[in-house]
A and B are shown apart, each in its own frame.
Chain A
Amino acid sequence: MNRQDAKAELVSHMKVLRAFAMSLTRNDAAADDLVQDTILKAWTNLDKFQEGTNMRAWLFTILRNTFYSSRRKAAREVGDSTGAITDSISVKPDHDGHLQLAEFRAALEQLPAEQREVLTLIGVLQYSYEEAAEVCGVKIGTIKSRLNRGREALAIKMQLNVHETMELTDAATHAVVAASGGTAA
């Protein structure tokens, strides 16, 4: 493949690649480093890319392999065999003015990266089970399990937030009622 054509295609995938990195890391700096490593590996190994095939899928594969390799290495170094510590390393999102979406982001951060990855591939990028299994290098049953557990965890978290919001509203209502001498309608 002509390198200038390859570069143009790489550039066209950069933002989606970074969004995919964010779905794995939930951390801006880590996502940037991950994308940088991915682009460098892709560029220096462009001879392995088969022209006419899906470059975005190829880049996704490099990115996720890099991410999980780094995570395994970090886990070995700190004795974090389950990845619990590395999973917990994240930054809070910037305030985006949409409380519900910010809460959803927070709930998403609490999921294991493997579940976030499958939720993104299937829920956002519309991959089939088979395609997701191929990208992740696992069986279809594992994809289904990660998807279901991820969605259930998010659903539970969202329902909990609904209850918390109702409780807050009730408390605020009580305060208004009390301040007005209990005459509020």
Chain B
Amino acid sequence: MAQMPKSQPWDSLIDENLKKVFEEDANADLPPQLMDLLDRLDKIHVATQEASGPDTPTDDGEVEE
């Protein structure tokens, strides 16, 4: 069974604020550059396995360096 964090007296207040900050960021409109990127995705050349980037996890989650 997964371990969960132990609670401290101030944890709930901090987590509440963390959630507010995250929700504000997550509810913000996406900037034009990201909207443009989504529009352009279909036109982007799709690489083969050999040409993959260094920061992309492989099937087992490992990162190629």
Contacts and interface: CB of A to CB of B under 8 A. Distances in A.
A108 B22 CA distance: 11
Given A130-B2, A147-B5, A105 B21 contact: yes
Report, as a range, how many residues of chain B touch the other chain.
Answer: 35 or more
Which label, helix, strand, loop or mixed, suits the secondary structure of the A interface?
Answer: helix
Given A7-B42, A36-B34, A61 B2 contact: no
A120 interface: yes
Contacts of A131: 2
Contact of B2 (A7, A23, A42, A129): A129
Contacts of B19: 123-124
B10 A151 contact: yes
Interface of B: 2-5, 8, 10-11, 13-15, 17-28, 30-31, 33-34, 37-38, 41-42, 44-49, 51-59, 61, 63
13 contacts: A11-B38, A14-B34, A15-B28, A16-B26, A44-B45, A44-B51, A47-B46, A104-B20, A119-B14, A120-B18, A131-B2, A140-B3, A154-B17
